[in-house]
Amino acid sequence: MEETPEHLIIRYLTKEATATETEMLRRWLAQSAANQKIFNEYAESWQHAAALAPTFAVAENLQKLNALIDQEEKQSKRKVTLFWSAAAAVVLLLSVGLLLFRQAQPVNRDYAERITAKGQKLTLRLADGTTVKLNANSSLKFPEQFDSKKREVYLQGEAFFDVAHNPEKPFLIHSKNVTTQVLGTSFNVRSRHATTEIAVRTGKVNVFSNQQSQLLLPQQKIICDGATWRVEQTSLNRELAWTNNEILIEDQPLAQVARVLEEWYGIKIQLGNDAMATCRVTGSFKNEPLENVLKAISL
């Protein structure tokens, strides 16, 4: 039985994981539902440990342990001994938080998290009947049961939502510093790097932050880049092509296309020179192997 990579989980939860470590964790999660369940328990414990057991100073201790791990990995001495000592201490802290959480919280407030690796997609059905298609290299955090007043989820990456209509309980998606609110509609949210994009297929969508808000209608898209928001008409065929396992490229620079292919196929693409990055490409590919896509683009 494969050992649980506690050090990767710890660094991910404390937001100290490198890009390589995050990718290693995503690949481990993609191996089985059992791995996903283990991660969910750690995430649940971490979420509530600091609030329910502040005297343990969980966050501060985890940061110190991570610093020690980094230091020892660089020196390559006593790494194994230190790792297991650190892992044991962290597991103890998380276990205490998890125990206190389960004693203090009702079951219906438990949160689950689904994470996809590069090249992997996932379809979820939430407790209220909402369907979510999670794109590659993304994560969705959601309660196993929604509360009586609202439905809230947390997204990193990209997902298409087909929200079950319920005028009594608004549905909210938190992504970076932007929140998307609906009652029942379908739309796509892409939140990567510093930019969040929302494209609406049906219904009305309200996008807001602490500083501003914007109502979107079908065929509209908003691009939120910090304090700069831009609304435009959009092609839903292009925005939602990924939900049908299709790559649709419409006059896009090769650098942007490369990023799409990296997430789609789980590989790393390096362009030969800077001039290639600005070359514009148009084409569509459905269920095509990477080799065929690259050959077509090279033409």
Give the pLDDT confidence score for residue 159 in this predicted structure: 98
Cβ neighbours, 10 Å, residue 245: 12
Indicate whether 179 pLDDT > 50: yes
Residues 244-278: pLDDT tens digits? Answer: 999 999 888 999 899 889 888 888 898 888 888 99
Residue 198 to residue 180: CA distance in whole angstroms: 8
Indicate whether 52 pLDDT > 70: no
Q: In DSSP terms, which residues pair with 220 in a beta bridge? A: 233
Indicate whether 209 pLDDT > 90: yes
Give the pLDDT confidence score for residue 49 in this predicted structure: 58
pTM, two decimal places: 0.65
Indicate whether 279 pLDDT > 80: yes
Residues 6 or more apart in contact with residue 141 via CB below 8 angstroms: 43, 111, 112, 113, 153, 154, 155
Q: What's the average model confidence in pLDDT over 208-219?
A: 94
Residues 53-108: pLDDT tens digits? Answer: 444 455 555 566 566 656 655 555 444 444 445 555 555 555 555 544 444 444 44
Average pLDDT, the chain: 82
